[in-house]
Structure 1
Amino acid sequence: MKKILLAGLAGLLTFGAASAQMLINGAGATFPQPIYTKWFDEYAKVDSSVRFNYQGIGSGGGQKQILAETVDFGASDGPMSDENLAKAPRKLLHIPTVAGAVVVSYNIPGAPKLKLDGPTLASIFLGKIRKWSDAAIKSQNPGVSLPDIDILVVHRSDGSGTTYIFTDYLSSVSDEWAKVAGKNTSVNWPVGLGGKGNAGVAGQIKQSPGAIGYVELAYATQNKLPYADLKNKAGHYITPSLDSVTEALASANIPDDFRFSMVNPPGDKAYPIAGTTWLLVYLEQKDAAKGKKLVEFLRWAYSEGEKMAAGLDYAPLPANVQARVLQRVGEIKY
């Protein structure tokens, strides 16, 4: 009987601890989801009184939900426009976390390593280059056996910061792309098939011979998808990697509000389709207890979480930028 009572008491204590755990909800970008998942899991070991629930629904969804205040923080790979920020009920901060590469993945026989330049990539996504055996692709890949099969373009179907980074790049290398589709988290695609999230696009590429699409580097490596070396502004074909993203990040001009682009940078070794990702957090927190826990987590993320970025193919923010961000985090009121 004594053992039963003790077991029952232990169960009640466990239930009480679980029920007392604070839940902080976030939603948005799938681009940083692998690193955020890692951070939330690790932080649970630091502070067991709080749990983070993050839904990867795309940057567009993250922006909408934080504006509607249905989540405690949003996440986006594209900076919010002035128009969207004006809809916020209070001042909304962009808190940059890590940077990563958007890679061009494909599914062709033999999975050869390809080289592509910006104009060729834009022509593919405009639907002007329709075959893998096209001369524009062949000329950049001498000695590579390219099949005479149709190209199937795969793009995001949801509002996506990965799309923002990719279309920001295409707009920077192709005037035609800038006029036809432009840059945004969602655009009117001239051709192609949609997939939801980075995972959805990676899945479509993997199961569709002839496919080409864009995903965050971690999703390509996890799905064992080949990805192209891209010609950068300096004229060099660059492999997406931690070092080439760090090079791109180093050349970025980062303003006080932390909204910036880092596509097609001038560095010799910089990868041309890279971007940062942001957490979207209100300067004035409505819930004091949640606000305090969120600030504590953010401080931990910059002191400890950034060290985990490289292991998941993300570039940590430079130390001077981290210091600036921590100063901004310190301004959050709760």
Structure 2
Amino acid sequence: MKRLLKRTALLAAVLLGCAAANAETINGAGASFPAPVYAAWTYSYNKVNEAKDQFNYQSIGSGAGVSQLKSGTIDFAGSDDPVKEKDLKQYNLLQFPMLVGGIVPVVNIPGIKSDELKLDGATLAAIFLGDIRKWNDPAIASQNPGLKLPNQRITVVRRSDGSGTTWIFTNYLCKVSEKWAKGPGNAKDVKWFRGTLGAKGNPGIANNVSKTRGSIGYVEYAYAKEAKLATVQLKNADGNYVSPTSATFAAATANADWKGAKDFRVELNNQKGADAWPITGVTYIVLKKDLNKTTAEKLFGYFNWCYSDGRKQASDMHYVPMPEDVVKLVQESWKAVK
């Protein structure tokens, strides 16, 4: 019996050693928008995957992540700005949606609590254009009767790096402000008015808004919750002021045509719907189609785990997991990786 136990233990050790010997370190980088849940996912999956592979994700911004993928220094990229069709073709890339989340304006105004301040899209754009400079401006005051607004200068905090979060935010501003559309426009990095405060990543904006009285910035909702920042109510396409929640983010996806969207390129900003949050975005995973077969299989195993076992973590962190019918479309798209 002892001899049998020793042989069993030895066999287990050999098998464990083989798994460890074949283990890979698989690296991803990019968008800070999904970084909180990606960190939770990689930590959880690294503890349960039988191959003992180590998955890592570095939050460096969408633009930097896609650039590193193109140069071959990482295995997958995260981007909130869908990669352009010509770049997908030129660099032989595949992209697919991983999560949906909300971009929220956050403020630091003395005496104003979370979701007390109401803004419509035109007013938000005017603030970020520098056309509205004080918190008690008539355009703000008219939407907030009874709210005591200070005669305080507005400090605009914006991203200093190429950012998918900025792409989603400026895409929305283009839809609600003709002046914004003809001026700064929609991009990962735009020309801001002089006097704004630049910060790197969602954490950088959250940190600067937290310590700057009179400031306003924009972050993915999980960062606002983590930093305990005051969010605002926004007027949506149906004319309703809504607060940012997982439910209002999900409401913005109700009419999304994932099946008909080429390369899953879906815009969720300013969607119709009584409860729809107006600044809602998709965050994508981007891969090379000529990815090593073994690495590809391990990545798909990880992503399948994220779509299934990781759903609860995503929901708990205020993201919206992809619907099951969309996951099936994504899994079908993986056949392009050879």
> What TM-score results when the alignment is normalised by the length of structure 1?
0.91
Alignment of 1:310-325 (within 5 A): 310-325=315-330
Q: In 2, are the aligned partners of 1:155 and 1:193 still within 8 Å (CA)?
A: yes
Q: CA RMSD in A?
A: 2.0
Q: Distance in 2 between matches of 1:333 and 1:136?
A: 52
The number of equivalent residue pairs is 320
Alignment of 1:72-151 (within 5 A): 72-88=75-91, 90=92, 92-112=93-113, 113-151=116-154
Kindly provide the amino acid, as one letter, of the partner of residue 235 in structure 1: G
Q: Once the 2 structures are TM-superposed, how far is the Cα of residue 164 of structure 1 from its aligned partner?
A: 0.5
State the secondary structure of the residue aligned to 1:182: coil
Matched, 1:282 2:288: yes
Q: Is the 8 A contact 1:302 1:326 kept in 2?
A: no
Offset, 1:20: 5.4
Sequence identity of aligned pairs in percent? 45
Partner residue in 1 for 2:7? none
Partner in structure 1 of residue 243 of structure 2: 239
> Does the residue aligned with 1:163 lie in a helix, a strand or coil?
helix
Q: 2:177 aligns with which of 162, 171, 174?
A: 174
Match for 2:207: what amino acid? G
Q: Is 2:227 the partner of 1:223?
A: yes
Tell me by how many angstroms 1:299 deviates.
1.7
Are 1:46 and 2:48 an aligned pair? yes
Q: Provide, for residues 49-73 of structure 1, a one-character-per-residue CA deviation record: whole Å limited to 9, x for no partner.
A: 1111211000011111111111100
Q: Does the residue aligned with 2:284 lie in a helix, a strand or coil?
A: strand
1:60 paired residue number: 63
Does 2:264 correspond to 1:261? no
The 2-side partners of 1:312 and 1:238 are apart by 19
- In 2: Cα distance, 1:144 partner to 1:27 partner: 42
Query: In the TM superposition, what is the alpha-carbon distance from 1:82 to its structure 2 partner?
Result: 2.9
1:67–1:87 Cα contact (<8 Å) kept: no
Instruction: Describe the SS at the equivalent of 1:309.
Output: helix
Gapped regions of structure 2 (runs ≥ 5): 1-14
Return the letter of the residue paired with 1:85.
L
Whole-Å separation in 2 of the counterparts to 1:324 and 1:17: 31
Cα distance in 2, alignment partners of residues 295 and 124 from structure 1: 43
Q: Secondary structure at the match of 1:206?
A: helix
Native 8 Å contact 2:88 2:94 kept in 1? no
3-state SS of paired residue (1:74): strand
Counterpart amino acid of residue 138 in structure 2? A
Post-superposition Cα deviations, 1:146-197, rounded to whole Å, max 9, x if no partner, equal: 1101000000000111000000000000010011111011111124111000
Contact 1:98–1:306, Cα closer than 8 Å, also in 2: no
1:306 aligns with 2:311: yes
Partner of 1:29: 31
| 1:190 aligned onto 2:193 | yes
Q: Structure 2 CA distance, aligned partners of 1:147 and 1:161? A: 32
Does the aligned pair in 1 maintain the 2:163–2:189 contact within 8 Å? Answer: yes
Cα offset, 1:21, TM superposition: 3.4
Show the counterpart of 1:7: none
In the TM superposition, residue 86 of structure 1 has moved relative to its aligned partner by 4.1
Distance 2:228 2:20 in 1: 38
Check the 8 A contact 1:264/1:272 in 2, yes or no.
yes
User: How far does residue 142 in structure 1 lie from its aligned partner after superposition?
Assistant: 1.0
1:280 Cα deviation from its structure 2 partner: 0.2
1:6 match: none
Question: What per-residue deviation string (whole Å, max 9, x for no partner) do you get for residues 250-278 of structure 1?
Answer: 22232141012100001111000000100
Give the drift of 1:75: 0.7
